[in-house]
Amino acid sequence: MAEVSLRGVKKQFGATQVIHGVDCEIEDGEFVVIVGPSGCGKSTLLRMIAGLEEVSSGDIAIAGKVVNTVEPKDRNIAMVFQNYALYPHMSVYENMAYGLKIRGLPKTEIRERVDRAAGILQIEALLERRPRQLSGGQRQRVAMGRAIVRDPAVFLFDEPLSNLDAKLRVQMRVEIRKLHQTLRTTSVYVTHDQVEAMTLADRLIVMNAGRVEQIGTPITLYEDPATLFVAGFLGSPAMNFLSGSVSADGRSVALPGGVTAPLAATHGAAAGRPVTVGIRPEHLDLAGDAPPTATIKVDLVELLGADTIVHGRIGDGGLLLARIDGAVPIRTGESLPVVLAPNAVHLFDPGTGARI
C-alpha cells in the first residue's frame, strides 16, 4: 500500500513537449482515473509512473520515495496492459507465476499466491490453458491475476477494457471496482471512456493536450466543471454549448433565437460580455403547464426507452440536445416548449474556456 505523488512532472520527446507539468497527490488505497482524449498524454503519464518512460523533469514518488531512476521491477508496481501482454507460450499459471519465479519465491508460495489470485478472479479452471485458448474477457482476468499475485503497492491499468465488447466491458468494469474494494490497493487507471472514468474513480484527473484540466471526484467534475473542456468531455450525451451574452444586470443570459435564460447567481463581472453557455441535456425538461424558457424546433428524436433524446434548434445557430425521462411521443418538426433550471446553466469564457 502506498501513495503516489507527481510533482511538476514533464515529458518531452525530442523537442516536442507532451506533458506540461502535472502535480497530483494520489492517496493510499485511492482509485484514480486519468481520462482524456487520444494523444492527451495520459498513457505517457502512466508509463512514467511504471518506469517504462523516463521523466524529463519533475519527480514521481511512490510511498514517499522518489523513483525517477528506479527500474520498473523495483518500484513495487504491477501493470495491466491494453493488449493484455500475456506470454503466448506460457500457460495461465506460468504467466501469473513468472514474476514471482524471477523474484525467487519458493514454489509452494508461488502456488499459494497464484491459487489465491485465481480464486479471486474465478479463473481456477483456466490455469493450465494457453492465452490463445481464452476469450478476451478471460485474458483480461489473467492479466489482472498476474498483477494481483505480485501484491504490489500500486496497480496501473492502461486502458484495460478497450479491447472488449460493450457488454463485457460493463461487466469487467464492475469487477475491477469490486476487486479494488476487496484489495484496497492504490490504483491508477487510464481510459478515454468517460463512463468508465465516472463509474470507477474515487477521483478523476481530466487531461487535455498534456495538461491537467481538473482533478476531483467524478460528481464534482460533472456538476462543477472548471473548464469548457471538462464540461464537454464528461457526460453523454455531451453538454450543449451555445454562444450567448450576459445581460447588463448580470442576472440572465441571452441565447440565440431571442431566448433569455435566468441565472442562479448574479454575474456582475461578466455583465454585457459574450460567453459560452453550457447546458446539460438532462437539465432541459418539457415545460408542461409552466411558462417555457425556450421553444425547441425538433429535428430528430431518439427513443431509447428509458429516456428520449431530442435533437433540436433554438433560433438559427443554436443546436440543442434535450434528454427527457421516459418514452415521450415527440414528432420531428414539432415545436417543443422546454424549461431550464437556472442553477444548471454554466458560463464559460469563450476565449480561454475557463468557467466564469
Chain contacts with another protein (rule: CB under 8 A): 50-52, 71-73, 77-79, 81-83, 85-89, 98-99, 102-103, 130-132, 146
- Strands 318-325, 307-314: parallel, antiparallel or unpaired by DSSP? antiparallel
Nearest to 29 by CA among 63, 73, 6: 63
CB of 123 to another protein, least distance (A): 18
* Nearest-approach distance from CB 156 to another protein, in angstroms: 9
- Segment (H or E) for 351: none
Between 67 and 221, name the residue whose CB sits nearer to another protein: 67
Shortest distance (Å) from residue 207 CB to another protein: 21
Q: Residue 146 Cβ, how far from another protein at the closest point, in Å?
A: 8
**CB 99, min distance to another protein, A:** 4
- Specify the residue, 52 or 271, whose C-beta has the smaller distance to another protein: 52
Q: Which of 74, 240, 232 is nearest to 152 (CA)?
A: 74
Using an 8 Å Cβ cutoff, are 307 and 284 in contact?
no
Residue 53: DSSP 8-state = S
Cβ-based nearer residue to another protein, 191 or 214:
191
Q: Considering beta carbons, is residue 127 or 239 the nearer one to another protein?
A: 127
Distance CA 180, CA 39 (A): 27
Please give the span between the terminal C-alpha atoms of the chain, in angstroms, as a whole number: 39
Least distance in angstroms from the C-beta of 55 to another protein? 16
Choice between 85 and 238, CB closer to another protein: 85
Q: Residue 171's Cα: distance from chain center in Å?
A: 17
Q: How far is the CB of 140 from another protein (least distance, A)?
A: 13
279-295 burial code (b ≥16 CB/10 A, e <16): bbbbbbbbbeeeebbbb
The closest alpha carbon to 261, from 280, 274, 273, 279, belongs to 279
**Which is closer to another protein, CB of 85 or CB of 120?**
85
Alpha carbon distance 217, 112 (integer Å) = 37
Distance of CA 59 to the CA centre of its chain: 24
Is the Cβ of residue 154 or residue 239 nearer to another protein in the bound state?
A: 154
